[in-house]
Amino acid sequence: MFLMVLILIAGCEKTIDFKLKDKPPSLVVEATIENDQWPVVLLSRSVGFFSQLTADILENSFVHNAEVYISDGSLTHKMKEYTVPIGLGLSVYYYSIDSSSFNTAFKGALNHAYSLRIVSDGQEYTANTNIPEITKKIDSLWWKQAPANPDTNKVVIMLKATDKPGYGNYIRYFTKRNNEPYYPPFNSAFDDLFIDGTTYELPLDVGVNRNDPGKYEERYFRRGDTVTLKLCEIDKATFDFWHTMEYSYSSVGNPFSTPTKVISNISNNALGYFGGYAAQFRTLVIPH
């Protein structure tokens, strides 16, 4: 009987071929504005999921000569494209304030709304965001020995914070170690569904440079590190983008995960987001 069952199962197998549709590249927008900082917009074109990525393909994906406008409701500023060489003949391109038109330029401000308009290849794309007030209070920041770890140089940084009463507060955070840039951890965006109006304590994950696979396993800070926390309050659209983006990123390759669509706030079927950040900082020096 067991042999018959195996034969029946083998006879039920069927090869299924998926015919993937060719889709033209979409505009990808990564636009941010932060309190006391100039707005920054990166524009690129999407590449196929199964495309073989090279440095040249990534550089050629940047969108040039677009018309990019940002407005705070009173001033509207046309942004300028800039080039940053990164070595080996490659460059990164972004749009920011045109220094020749400072009369319409502005930095981000707390409790203020902004709109973005992009014209590229005859198509127009729009998005809106706001920089909230800073309402989440950082009560304290401290370190403790990493649990159940024989390496006594590894430590965990703990945060004690107070959430403002009333649902609908969203945050995203980054950490900076010594002279590194600010990096977000794998899960960086959170809502206040379970902590509304409370004072709570939680460990901070190490920010990760996703372009450096060797850093993926680094879970702890180390003695001797100077660590700066960048805690940002964000609006719901920014939270929705990063919450779905990071879930999708972590589930790639997992056949049992739930398919997730990354939520964008850019019109005209563009990918990406336009997000406002209300940032506050706290630094902790971990002794040797």
- pLDDT tens track of the chain, all 288 residues? 766 655 656 665 566 666 666 778 999 999 999 999 999 999 999 988 777 878 888 889 999 999 999 999 999 999 999 999 988 888 999 999 999 999 999 999 999 999 999 999 999 999 999 999 999 999 999 999 998 878 889 999 999 999 999 999 999 999 999 999 999 999 999 999 999 999 999 999 999 988 776 665 678 999 999 999 999 999 999 999 999 999 988 776 565 566 778 999 999 999 999 999 999 999 999 999
Task: Please give the pLDDT value at position 148.
Answer: 81
What tokens appear for 84 in the block? 């940053």
Residues pairing with 62 in the sheet: 44
- Identify the pLDDT of residue 250: 79
- Alpha carbon 136 to its chain centroid, in Å, reads 20
Paired tokens of 142: 């401290």
What is the pLDDT, as a whole number, of residue 43?
Answer: 98
Distance separating alpha carbons of residues 45 and 243, to the nearest angstrom: 22
Contact at 8 Å (CB) between 129 and 274?
Answer: yes
Name the phi and psi angles at 238, rounded to 5.
-65, -40
The pLDDT, as a whole number, for residue 218 is 75
Strand partners, 251: none
| Separation between Cα atoms, residue 136 and residue 158, nearest integer Å | 16
- Domains annotated on the chain, with CATH: 27-131 (2.60.40), 137-263+277-285 (2.60.40)
Per-residue b or e along 203-223, where b marks 16 or more CB atoms closer than 10 Å to that residue's CB: ebbbbbeeeeeeeeebebbbe
- Long-range contacts, 73-76 (Cβ 8 Å, 24+): 73/113, 73/114, 73/115, 75/104, 75/105, 75/106, 76/104
Instruction: Supply the pTM of this predicted model.
Output: 0.89
What's the CA gap between 237 and 274, in Å, rounded? 8
